[in-house]
Amino acid sequence: MAELKDDKGSDLEKKLSYKAEFAWSKFSDEQKKAARNFVLDYMVFLGEARTERERVTFAERVAQGKGFKRIEIGQEANQLKPGDKVYYINRGKNIALFIVGEKPMTEGTRFIGAHMDYPRLDLKIRPVYEKDGFALFKTHYYGGLKKYQFATVPLALTGIVVKKDGTQVLVNIGHEPDDPVFTVPDLLIHLARNYQGDRKMADVLKAEEMNALAGALQNEDEKAKERFKLNILSILNEKYGITEEDLHSAELSLVPTIAPRFVGLDKSMVGGAGQDDGSCSYLALRAVLDLNNGIPAFTVGTGLFDKEETGSNGPTGAQSSWFRQIFIDLLSRSGVKGSLTNMHVAMSSMKMISADVTAALDPSFGSVHDSQTAAIAGKGVVIEKYSGSGGKYGTNDATAEYVGFVRGVFDARKVPFQYGTLGQVDAGGGGTIAMFFSQAFNCDVVDCGVPLLNMHSPFEIAHIADLYSGYLAYSAFFTSK
């Protein structure tokens, strides 16, 4: 990528050394305008779709608007032809969208995977109880979070209750302006000094103290033993026709209701919940939906997964064989002769980007980062060769060859990007879905995503230049040769 003209440093230095530049100043006026519009669309998604289920619904709606057709594994196994747009959905929590390419999948596929779940408070299986004049919901935190950050903020209740006859009841309370919200109370500072003062970070609020206010009025039934609890059960029954036992077959979560907002006088950043990994999910979704250059050379796809924050387990996590099943289904519909060898050739020749966020260097906590390798907010989407922790444990570690390929692709399309790692060695670490695909498919995968501040908090921060750069990067990847 061409360097910005500046007078600092010698010519030889400029020729030989590498320095990532801030991306915004590299965009043309037209690109800046496009970036601003893109970010506005992104903020609608972020505010509207907050759980994996809501995000699948959102993705399906926009995909249908772009002419994508839903197919099911093995059903009406009609042949597909180059240019056909299809998608698969798994249990309402995964969606994968493909555009069939000119070349057979045995020659390669371009796939981007991201995750749509994010840290939140799930309701326990029997959540409602009463104490000291309140009805409360017991919660069980999901994913890695600083629990105290999810107290004293407004939370919406969202999810699904399934009755024993199979009836599905969708619950969504707290997103509309006149909806009530919920909140986990924290102890007032006046009484907290001794009680909480010496607690460590993870226990400032302990897991069993993460109880959300559900109500504070007694039911009119004076004979009832627990009138506060009964009042909540009675409202739920009136609104949704459910009883306390129905809550055992439910997935209900409390998620921050804070609406996405621009941050900074220059509106250079977006603040909002669920940008890990809603940001990369949305960019990857748009990259496939907006691919308008006729028929792509290779079959391209975006897959959006669940359960990343808890280890990618279960049928809807990235370790599930669902993706392998739809990959093979697509392979057989797209004219490749069914044989194990063809399947293996197609799997191992897939090229993938694991689109997940990484840490942006935090200006107030520089000591946990390595300033030489940390991603800087505003310098573009980040290629992260490896993640993991300690001595590179649990890392996918993309090959040098593949990182070389990807940087070539981005450079050729003048995408501003940077390279980065998550933090200082031994400071901590993290993983993504990258390794599950590289292992199951024996294919090349590299992590590449948006750097965030406040990751896993109710108000994560992404730079608008990084969001748009990510969109350009994923779009370039889809048309790579």
Binding residues for Mn ion, rule: CB under 5 A, are 276-277, 356
Say if CB 359 and CB 423 are below 8 A apart: yes
Instruction: Return the number of the residue (84 or 309) whose C-beta is nearest Mn ion.
Output: 309
CB of 34 to Mn ion, least distance (A): 26
Residue among 277 and 306 whose Cβ is closer to Mn ion: 277
Q: How far is the CB of 113 from Mn ion (least distance, A)?
A: 11
Query: In three state form, how does the secondary structure of 12-53 look?
Result: HHHHHCCCCCCCHHHCCHHHHHHHHHHHHHHHHHHHHCCCHH
H or E stretch covering 324: helix 322-333
Question: Residue 358: in which H helix or E strand, if any?
Answer: strand 358-359
CA distance 411 to 430: 27
Beta carbon of residue 404, minimum distance to Mn ion (angstroms, whole number): 25
Nearest distance from C-beta of residue 311 to Mn ion, angstroms: 11
Strands 85-90 and 299-305: unpaired
By C-beta, is 356 or 466 nearer to Mn ion?
A: 356
Smallest distance, Å, CB 73 to Mn ion? 27
Helix axes 275-289, 464-478, angle to 10 degrees: 40
Give the SS3 label for residue 360. strand
Q: Is the peptide bond before 277 cis (omega within 30 degrees of 0)?
A: yes
Q: How far is the CB of 102 from Mn ion (least distance, A)?
A: 33
Q: Which is nearer to Mn ion, 144 or 264 (CB)?
A: 144
DSSP at 381: E
Pick 113 or 296: Cβ nearer Mn ion: 113
Please, what is the minimum distance in Å from the beta carbon of residue 359 to Mn ion? 10
* Of 43, 6, 55, 10, the residue nearest 26 (C-alpha): 6
Query: Which C-beta is closer to Mn ion: that of 99 or that of 304?
Result: 304
Of 158 and 358, which has the nearer Cβ to Mn ion?
A: 358
46, two tokens: 């972020």
Closer to Mn ion by CB, 276 or 306: give it.
Answer: 276
Least gap, CB of 277 to Mn ion (angstroms): 4
Query: In terms of Cα–Cα distance, which of 104, 98, 82 is closest to 343?
Result: 104
Looking at the Cβ atoms of 246 and 276, the one nearer to Mn ion is 276
Residue 22's Cβ-count burial label (10 Å; 0-12, 13-18, 19+) is middle
Q: What angle do CA 294, 299, 301 make, to 5 degrees?
A: 100
Whether 309 and 357 have beta carbons less than 8 Å apart is answered as no
- In whole angstroms, the minimum distance from the beta carbon of 276 to Mn ion comes to 4
